[in-house]
Structure 1
């Protein structure tokens, strides 16, 4: 590549970086984190047995195991609120990285077969390996995430005229429907449908500290790796040729990005089941607010994704008390219209 072309590519990247809005991003991170913590406090307070915020404070910082309200706070509601925030962050960051690496505005874990692949492998685990530990389930979920994504890209690669965002989304929808049907068939045939119902509906009810214990290290590793490649994803989002012109090893970046997506989505599905559209909607909102620089998109997506799922979990409990609405249904209310809007917009380019 000529020196002139390299200069143009560098100018394109600097222009992309300049589109970032660091002041707005910083405000979103600070305000979003405060709002998420307040939402988590409300999540711990609200439920079948309402607990006032003063009791929540005492239950968190001055735990008395003889008080039933403190036991509810510590053993049931705190793990639930923490996992809701983590899962929302996982899915939002995964969606941001997928959209940045593929330059596909329709990419997200739920649409690209990643979530359904994880659910499929969990069904296999329940059917053929009963009594498996939670760590084993998480491992199966990771494998399933890779399986689902691999099949989608393989199917999309054989499409006539090459991959387009809509074709890849259609391939993901078709493969996801197939994997979901296979999961249901396995669950019914091997009589594990009741165990699988939680993963189909999606939700964080019944979460325990054991899940937090296993998911938290994934959060540290996955988010650290995501922030490490943030600059590279920004360059890659300009296009393959531009990234190579700037000397980027695009293959390495894609491998690292894929590892982040599989880690985070696998962990999210293993603990919360099939929660769709968070990874589609949040990255678009974040880019609209903070610009196109992924060093800001990723942390803001993590905060906004966590906030969205914490609030959705509160809504799941408040819509039809004392029963809980599936969390996946709450996120779909926002996500499906947004997906149809994007598909219609991108479909004009077919």
Structure 2
């Protein structure tokens, strides 16, 4: 068989695969438009609700016509607005990271928390609190990036030694083992160095107390990480059909995977440094999005960003409504949604072995 015939065969195989998973641009456009409107309403409702109920008209005035002499405007600008913006960004970051991980690895169980990325970030933050007290938020961000990379390396290193190769279930098991290990060491460090109170926030997960400095440092990460994700979208679509198909179409799979991994580390590291270990959002949202819009990642990535932001904004709002005036950890709410979904996916993957 000649090279041209091989290429034609690969293209035919690619076309057959894409026909099985047609994209739905009309549905995706609807999700982007309606999802954005609902997200704006959710942000307004989140700013309005709290210990001091604030009307929507006051919310509008506090955001666009700020008066520093009014207490309600100060509450909106200094407490609630940075919190809800951080929730939207963190939700988008985790959802996009999960979508990229699932597309690159062709692993339906892949997500930042299951693959040890968030545990690695939290572990390095514990190291920073214990050995480098007084670290600035920018410093914590750097530690979080380093921990995310360490978590990924450990999972792939452990999984690659398993007999029979790195299957999706084995990768998930390696991620669970690495997560348990790093969480245990982090807890031991917190107890021994008496910084448990400082890092307990990162383990509970949430955006309470977020300041503008956190949002300001997340915005460059959002611009760089999300733009790279959108640029990679088409390549990830091809890669999700298999390395052989991607190579047959002339794609440099190594370059795509390296850049995709950098995007995951950027987005997840920033998310964990602000909100802690919020689990399962990066698992659930990409699956829901893929079910709705198909497997074209040019639609999956932006739709995942919108739906992830919407889910975390609503979860943060629900965390304040369940047991007022106390707050339920946002991580507990996302876990209630994600654990049954993960068990369902694991069962389906086991049947496929």
* TM-score bucket of the superposed structures, by smaller chain: over 0.9
| 1:16/1:293 contact within 8 Å kept | no
Q: Could you tell me which residue of structure 2 aligns to residue 221 of structure 1?
A: 224
CA deviation map 1:144-196 (0-9, x unaligned):
00000100010000001111111110110011010011111111111110000
| 1:41/1:53 contact within 8 Å kept | yes
Match of 1:346 among 341, 346, 349: 349
2:285 aligned with 1:294, yes or no?
Answer: no
Q: Could you tell me which residue of structure 2 aligns to residue 6 of structure 1?
A: 7
CA deviation map 1:310-350 (0-9, x unaligned):
00000000000000000000000100000000001101233
Alpha-carbon separation, structure 1, partners of 2:13 and 2:340: 33
2:111 aligned with 1:108, yes or no?
Answer: yes
Match of 1:138 among 136, 141, 148: 141
2:267 aligned with 1:264, yes or no?
Answer: yes
Q: Could you tell me which residue of structure 2 aligns to residue 40 of structure 1?
A: 43
Q: Could you tell me which residue of structure 2 aligns to residue 53 of structure 1?
A: 56
Calculate the TM-score normalised by the size of structure 1. 0.98
Q: Could you tell me which residue of structure 2 aligns to residue 275 of structure 1?
A: 278
Alpha-carbon separation, structure 2, partners of 1:112 and 1:125: 22
Q: Could you tell me which residue of structure 1 aligns to residue 152 of structure 2?
A: 149
1:179-194 to 2 correspondences below 5 Å:
179-194=182-197
1:232-251 to 2 correspondences below 5 Å:
232-251=235-254
2:100 aligned with 1:97, yes or no?
Answer: yes
Q: Secondary structure at the match of 1:229?
A: helix
Match of 1:127 among 125, 130, 133: 130
Q: Secondary structure at the match of 1:348?
A: helix
Alpha-carbon separation, structure 1, partners of 2:283 and 2:96: 10
Alpha-carbon separation, structure 1, partners of 2:44 and 2:10: 47
Match of 1:253 among 250, 253, 256: 256
CA drift of 1:48 comes to 1.1
Calculate the TM-score normalised by the size of structure 2. 0.98
CA drift of 1:141 comes to 0.1
Alpha-carbon separation, structure 2, partners of 1:63 and 1:249: 51
CA deviation map 1:45-97 (0-9, x unaligned):
00111111011001001111111110000000000110100000000000000
| 1:230/1:294 contact within 8 Å kept | yes
Q: Could you tell me which residue of structure 1 aligns to residue 180 of structure 2?
A: 177
CA drift of 1:6 comes to 1.4
Q: Could you tell me which residue of structure 2 aligns to residue 74 of structure 1?
A: 77
Match of 1:83 among 76, 86, 89: 86
Alpha-carbon separation, structure 1, partners of 2:146 and 2:39: 31
CA drift of 1:206 comes to 0.2
| 1:105/1:342 contact within 8 Å kept | yes
| 1:89/1:304 contact within 8 Å kept | yes
Alpha-carbon separation, structure 1, partners of 2:148 and 2:227: 20
C-alpha RMSD over aligned residues: 1.0
Q: Could you tell me which residue of structure 2 aligns to residue 27 of structure 1?
A: 30
Alpha-carbon separation, structure 1, partners of 2:272 and 2:224: 17
Q: Which runs of 5+ in 1 are unaligned?
A: none
Deviant stretches of 4+, over 3 Å? 11-18
Alpha-carbon separation, structure 1, partners of 2:95 and 2:8: 33
CA drift of 1:16 comes to 5.2
Q: Could you tell me which residue of structure 1 aligns to residue 332 of structure 2?
A: 329
Alpha-carbon separation, structure 2, partners of 1:90 and 1:252: 21
CA deviation map 1:83-123 (0-9, x unaligned):
10000000000000000000000000000000000000000
| 1:282/1:301 contact within 8 Å kept | yes
